[in-house]
Amino acid sequence: MGERLVIVNQINGYTINAIYYHWSNYTQTAVAEVLALSDGIQTYYDDIDNKTPYSPIDTFNLACLESISGISSWDNESRAYYQKVTGEDYDVEKIDRSLGLIHFTENDIMDAIGAAEGTVYIDWAIDAIGRPIIDKTKVDLIGVIYRESADYEEDFPEISAQQRQNPKSYTLDNIKLTELDDFYNQLPEDWYDEQENNYYSQKG
């Protein structure tokens, strides 16, 4: 079954790739995957000394690929994309779905999103060679937060009453990547949003 998370990577609102993680559909784990992906991408650009023969988008895609496990053996279109960009066949023997499988083409991306139980969207800002501008990159965590059902107050009257006494409000869909760790560390396990009149909780 798994707890299927997909991180959808966008540039200026346009989807570039999607990464599937089989056991990461928990709020804390999803945040950790985003931060690990960001670190891996930055390491890739450091390693190539910001020099690349590829287009900015292709370079960014390769940076994402190097930051996770790999490309699935059944994603023929994505493997064909890799071969077209690099001129090399892709070795699928060492991939691990728990450590991230990347999808590059529209069909493969839609299949991954369709299989997801939770999604995180990252809207990356990039420079001329595709390197992310981290302090201008935004993260959307709404897809890994529970919005409680209309019966929540009836099912949990004492808990909901306590939450209503201390309402909180968080912007979950426009978090700066540079502030993501601090944002998560101050996010409660559950809360009542008075402005939206909804109850929320972390997945976990």
Please tell me the distance from the alpha carbon of residue 110 to that of residue 124, in angstroms, as a whole number: 19
Q: What is the pLDDT of residues 132-153, one digit of tens each?
A: 999 999 999 999 999 998 889 9
Which residue range forms the structural domain that includes residue 32? 5-147+172-186
Q: Over the chain, what is the mean pLDDT?
A: 95
pLDDT tops 80 at residue 1: no
* 71 belongs to a structural domain: yes
- Report yes or no on 114 lying in a domain: yes
Does 195 map to a domain?
Answer: no
**pLDDT at residue 116 above 70?**
yes
Q: Is residue 167 part of a domain?
A: no
Count of domains forming the chain: 1
- The answer as to whether 73 is a domain residue is yes
Q: Report the largest interatomic distance among the alpha carbons of the chain, rounded to a whole angstrom.
A: 62
Report the alpha-carbon distance of residue 96 to residue 88 in Å, rounded.
21
Instruction: Please determine, for residue 99, whether its predicted confidence score (pLDDT) is greater than 80.
Output: yes
- Quick check: is 162 in a domain? no
> 194 lies in a domain?
no
In a domain, 67, yes or no: yes
Q: What is the mean pLDDT of residues 39-45?
A: 97
Query: Is residue 109 exposed (0-12), middle (13-18) or buried (19+ Cβ within 10 Å)?
Result: buried
Distance from chain centroid for Cα 93: 24
Q: pLDDT band at residue 50, thresholds of 50, 70 and 90?
A: confident
Residue 172 pairs with which residues in a beta bridge? Answer: none
| Distance of alpha carbon 60 from alpha carbon 16, whole angstroms | 9
